């Protein structure tokens, strides 16, 4: 980047920088941060050119690590902001020679490897549109992405190129790794010139990302984000985690899904922190803790499945544990939260967001964490809880974003689907489809998806609330509650439960879990039926409650109990 280009980039990013500094300054002062924050509104902005490349040239950040990848065999690669800026310039120059241009859609299907981050930055510099894809996708999924995403180019691990043999379409094929016949070799990019010159300005409203949602209930939607909605929007995610310049941030997440971009790209690099990656084929908590200690991880985010395995190791072995610890996904067992608090002296903080948004609601650093609550609206977000029946705001209802004060961290819409976009953006609000309640202090507690809430004996039941109680039982590692048809009460709560490795799926365990739920839930909320099962999930790991509801609807109980199912009526001892 020459001096003239750097000056122009600095001017475009000036308001972004000012608001970033404001959030960093008030990192533990929620009241001041919420009152004083305003979203930047640049007319032109390219995050890779105007912000990341600046990190690669400014003296205080250029030589700091930007990306640190440690492999299972102990080998590692560490790149500074300056090095990664230069390498992504080379990749951008090479991709441009292969025909990648402004507005082109590029499917990126890579693992947690340096080429992933190079390609993300390079595509952004070119003004291309990224379509992130999980390496677990099948040919049918990829065909959908190529066709509905109008992809012109794909960048794929060599090991996965065979999956594209049956994916029709005219698209440039780039293989990362060993040479593959008929595919361009990504390795050639490292011979390209080291300084990139863009072909023009990038409008802030230009599309940069198209995410295919994981489709828990229907065909995946195409969530469209611009050069500001995610890159700048993730200032909220930076604030939630509490990231600061120089932090070493470990987020355990697979590429291809929004959470990876949240915590492995935009939030840490908005802060000027290092993205730390530990690759493994089989999770080893002892090995992970060893790398965290050796490499000085200061910030950590993991899904519940990882937390459940991690506490099996001795957490106290970390002499300097991370000071910023957050969780994402399904609810965490309170015992996990307590074990981490005892060992590390920190509380795991929740956050709420979607592929369509950045983090909207969270427990932020330095603030009281109320058990069960996911926190308060983040700076830049105005949250209304709308009654589903009347549409009026109140203390309970659907979580909605007020569009009269539009947050930057909100998608442009669903690409090529104006009806769905209009449906979620109706009546002056963005409707998340999630339900919650707000207390007198402004803290919001999650109830569940609006379409997961059901009635039993005319009472509204929140599966999330019941599942949270079940997760407190020592035998339960995962749980999903759905309505089960009942001739008297129309529906009763039924729990599908996955057990920990040291518990057997038998009558005694069922009795223990049902008894525990009975002791901790109001009578109308009690679990009436229980079945041990591996829970069906989307490819991104979300529980498919819709599939479980369908199973319940199809079952015929007229001829007696369902095989493998336990009912509370099977245990007279519970009523004594």
Segment among 83-87, 207-211, 448-452 with least mean pLDDT: 448-452
Based on the domain organization, do 387 and 416 belong to the same domain? yes
Based on the domain organization, do 388 and 463 belong to the same domain? no
Based on the domain organization, do 513 and 439 belong to the same domain? no
- CB within 8 A of 376, min separation 6: which ones? 30, 34, 361, 362, 363, 364, 367, 442, 443, 444
In whole angstroms, give the CA distance from residue 221 to residue 210.
9
* Structural element, H or E, at residue 386: strand 383-386
Q: Domain of residue 381: give its range.
A: 376-450
Would 106 be classed as within a structural domain?
Answer: no
Would 444 be classed as within a structural domain?
Answer: yes
Based on the domain organization, do 429 and 523 belong to the same domain? no
Out of 406, 434, 450, pick the residue that ends a domain: 450
Would 507 be classed as within a structural domain?
Answer: yes
Burial 285-303 (b: 16+ CB within 10 A, else e): bebbbebbeebebbbbbbb
Average pLDDT over residues 438-466: 85
pLDDT band at 564 (very low <50, low <70, confident <90, very high): confident
**Structural domain count, the chain:** 2
**Which has more confidence, 496 or 446?**
496
The pLDDT tens digits of the residues spanning 319-355 come to 999 999 998 776 677 788 899 999 999 999 999 999 9
- Supply the DSSP string of 332-380, one letter for each residue: PPHHHHHHHHHHHS---B-EE--TTBS--EEPPTTS---TT---EEPTT
Chain mean pLDDT for the chain: 92
Q: Are 378 and 240 in contact (CB under 8 A)?
A: yes
* Structural element, H or E, at residue 419: helix 418-424
pLDDT band at 168 (very low <50, low <70, confident <90, very high): very high
Based on the domain organization, do 545 and 472 belong to the same domain? yes
Based on the domain organization, do 520 and 553 belong to the same domain? yes
Q: Which residues pair with 436 in a beta bridge?
A: 397, 446
Based on the domain organization, do 443 and 473 belong to the same domain? no
- The enclosing domain of 540 has a CATH number of 3.30.300.30
The pLDDT tens digits of the residues spanning 122-166 come to 999 999 999 999 998 889 899 999 999 999 999 999 999 999 999
Would 182 be classed as within a structural domain?
Answer: no
Q: Are 72 and 281 in contact (CB under 8 A)?
A: yes
| Percentage of the chain lying above the pLDDT 70 cut | 95
**Helical spans, DSSP H, in 265-303:** 267-271, 285-295
pLDDT band at 556 (very low <50, low <70, confident <90, very high): low
- The enclosing domain of 411 has a CATH number of 2.30.38.10
pLDDT at 87 over 70: yes
Based on the domain organization, do 423 and 458 belong to the same domain? no
The pLDDT tens digits of the residues spanning 177-204 come to 999 999 999 999 999 999 999 999 999 9
> Can you give the pLDDT at residue 558?
62
DSSP letter at 50 equals I
Nearest 5°: the CA angle 95, 100, 103 is: 140
The pLDDT tens digits of the residues spanning 218-233 come to 578 999 999 999 999 9
The pLDDT tens digits of the residues spanning 495-525 come to 999 999 899 999 999 999 999 999 988 888 8
Q: Are 434 and 446 in contact (CB under 8 A)?
A: yes
Based on the domain organization, do 443 and 463 belong to the same domain? no
Q: Give the N- to C-terminal CA distance of the chain in Å, as an integer.
A: 76
Please state, in angstroms and as integers, the Cα–Cα distance from residue 492 to each residue in 370, 487, 528, following that order. 30, 10, 6
Out of 405, 424, 450, pick the residue that ends a domain: 450
Average pLDDT over residues 533-555: 85
In whole angstroms, give the CA distance from residue 218 to residue 221.
8
> Can you give the pLDDT at residue 159?
96
**3-state secondary structure string, 559-574?**
CCCCCCEEEHHHCHHH
Q: Are 356 and 332 in contact (CB under 8 A)?
A: no
Q: Are 194 and 86 in contact (CB under 8 A)?
A: yes
Would 547 be classed as within a structural domain?
Answer: yes
- Supply the DSSP string of 257-274, one letter for each residue: SHHHHIIIIIHHHHHTPE
User: By three-state DSSP, how is residue 535 classified?
Assistant: coil
Based on the domain organization, do 444 and 456 belong to the same domain? no
Would 162 be classed as within a structural domain?
Answer: no
Out of 421, 450, 479, pick the residue that ends a domain: 450
Based on the domain organization, do 424 and 471 belong to the same domain? no
Would 11 be classed as within a structural domain?
Answer: no
Q: Which residues pair with 383 in a beta bridge?
A: 401
Based on the domain organization, do 524 and 568 belong to the same domain? yes
**Phi, psi (deg, nearest 5) at residue 228:** -115, -35
> Can you give the pLDDT at residue 560?
62
The answer for 241, left when phi > 0, alpha when psi is -120 to 50, beta otherwise, is: alpha
Would 463 be classed as within a structural domain?
Answer: yes
> Can you give the pLDDT at residue 286?
93
């Amino acid at each position: 980047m020459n001096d003239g280009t750097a000056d122009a980039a600095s001017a475009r990013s000036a308001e972004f920088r000012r608001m970033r500094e404001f959030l960093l300054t008030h990192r533990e002062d929620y009241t001041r941060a919420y009152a004083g924050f305003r979203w930047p509104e640049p007319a032109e902005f390219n995050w890779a050119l105007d912000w990341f490349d600046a990190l690669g040239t400014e003296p205080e950040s250029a030589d700091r690590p930007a990306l640190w990848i440690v492999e299972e065999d102990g080998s590692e690669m560490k790149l500074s902001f300056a090095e990664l800026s230069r390498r992504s310039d080379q990749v951008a120059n090479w991709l441009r020679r292969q025909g990648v241009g402004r507005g082109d859609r590029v499917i990126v299907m890579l693992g947690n490897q340096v080429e992933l981050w190079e390609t993300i930055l390079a595509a952004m510099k070119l003004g291309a549109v990224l379509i992130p894809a999980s390496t677990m996708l099948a040919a049918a999924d990829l065909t959908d992405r190529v066709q509905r995403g109008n992809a012109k180019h794909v960048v794929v691990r060599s090991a996965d190129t065979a999956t594209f043999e049956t994916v029709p379409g005219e698209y440039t094929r780039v293989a990362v790794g060993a040479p593959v016949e008929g595919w361009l070799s990504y390795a050639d990019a490292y011979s390209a010139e080291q300084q990139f010159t863009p072909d023009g300005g990038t409008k802030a409203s230009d599309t940069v990302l198209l995410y295919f949602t994981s489709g828990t209930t229907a065909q995946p939607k195409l969530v469209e984000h611009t050069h500001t909605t995610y890159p700048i929007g993730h200032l909220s995610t930076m604030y939630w985690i509490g990231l600061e310049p120089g932090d070493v941030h470990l987020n355990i997440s697979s590429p291809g899904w929004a959470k990876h971009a949240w915590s492995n790209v935009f939030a840490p690099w908005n802060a000027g922190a290092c993205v730390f990656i530990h690759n493994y084929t089989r999770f080893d908590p002892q090995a992970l803790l060893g790398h965290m200690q050796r490499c000085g991880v200061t910030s950590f985010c993991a899904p519940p499945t990882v937390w459940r395995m991690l506490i099996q190791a001795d957490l106290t072995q970390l002499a300097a544990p991370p000071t910023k610890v957050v969780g994402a996904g399904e609810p965490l067992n309170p015992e996990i939260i307590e074990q981490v608090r005892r060992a590390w002296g920190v509380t795991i903080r929740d956050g709420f967001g979607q592929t369509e948004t950045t983090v909207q609601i969270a427990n932020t650093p330095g603030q009281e964490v109320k058990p069960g609550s996911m926190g308060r609206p983040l700076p830049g977000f105005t949250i209304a809880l709308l009654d589903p029946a009347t549409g009026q705001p109140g203390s309970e209802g659907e979580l909605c974003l007020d569009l009269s004060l539009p947050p930057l961290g909100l998608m442009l819409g669903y690409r090529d689907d104006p009806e769905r976009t209009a449906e979620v953006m109706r009546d002056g609000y963005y409707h998340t489809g999630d339900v919650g309640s707000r207390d007198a202090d402004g803290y919001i507690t999650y109830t569940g998806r609006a379409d997961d809430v059901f009635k039993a004996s005319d009472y509204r039941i929140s599966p999330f609330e019941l599942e949270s109680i079940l997760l407190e039982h020592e035998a339960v590692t995962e749980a999903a509650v759905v309505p089960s048809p009942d001739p008297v009460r129309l529906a009763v709560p039924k729990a599908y439960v996955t057990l920990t490795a040291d518990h057997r799926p038998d009558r005694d365990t069922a009795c223990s879990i049902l008894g525990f739920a009975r002791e901790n839930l109001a009578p109308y909320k009690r679990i009436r039926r229980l079945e041990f099962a591996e829970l069906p999930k989307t490819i991104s790991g979300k529980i498919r409650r819709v599939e479980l509801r369908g199973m319940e609807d199809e079952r015929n109980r007229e001829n007696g109990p369902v095989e493998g199912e336990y009912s509370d009526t099977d245990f007279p001892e519970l009523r004594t």
